[in-house]
Amino acid sequence: MNCIFCKIAAGEIPSDKVYEDDRLVAFNDINPQTRVHALVVPKEHIAGAAALTEDHAEIMGRLWTAIPKIAALLGVSEAFKVSVNSGADAGQTVFHLHFHLQSP
């Protein structure tokens, strides 16, 4: 599949990774909008939040419970924001599910 985040997750395209485990990866956004701006991404391809089903309950739990760990690694435990853009009209430009994890 010609998906940039699949390739980053697989290590086929370089990225500035800040966290990785068996199911997910987090890396710094190439065009940060805030001082800290990372993307938290499942290794499996999911097109976006609108494509989520009950089958994704486990990976969604893994993603969300990794977020405070990643926030700690990035030094923003005291204050951070998490956002998802779903659909082109909402600003989604990469159609592989990702959470923006940002400093305020």
Catalytic residue numbers, as ranges: 98
Q: Does 3 bind Zn ion (CB under 5 A)?
A: yes
* Site for Zn ion, residues 42 to 81, rule: CB under 5 A: 45
In order, the DSSP letters of the chain are ---HHHHHHTTSS---EEEE-SSEEEEE-SS-SSSSEEEEEESS----GGG--GGGHHHHHHHHHHHHHHHHHTT-TTS-EEE---SGGGT--S-S--EEEE--
Indicate which single residue of 3, 18, 29, 34 sits in contact with ligand 5GP (rule: CB under 6 A): 29
By CB under 6 A, which span of 17-25, 54-62, 68-76, 87-95 interacts with ligand 5GP?
Answer: 87-95
Quote the distance between the C-alpha of residue 51 and its chain's center: 15
* Cβ nearer to ligand 5GP, comparing 72 with 82: 82
Residue 92 C-beta: closest distance to ligand 5GP, Å: 4
Binding site for ligand 5GP (CB under 6 A): 4, 15, 27, 29-31, 39, 85, 91-94
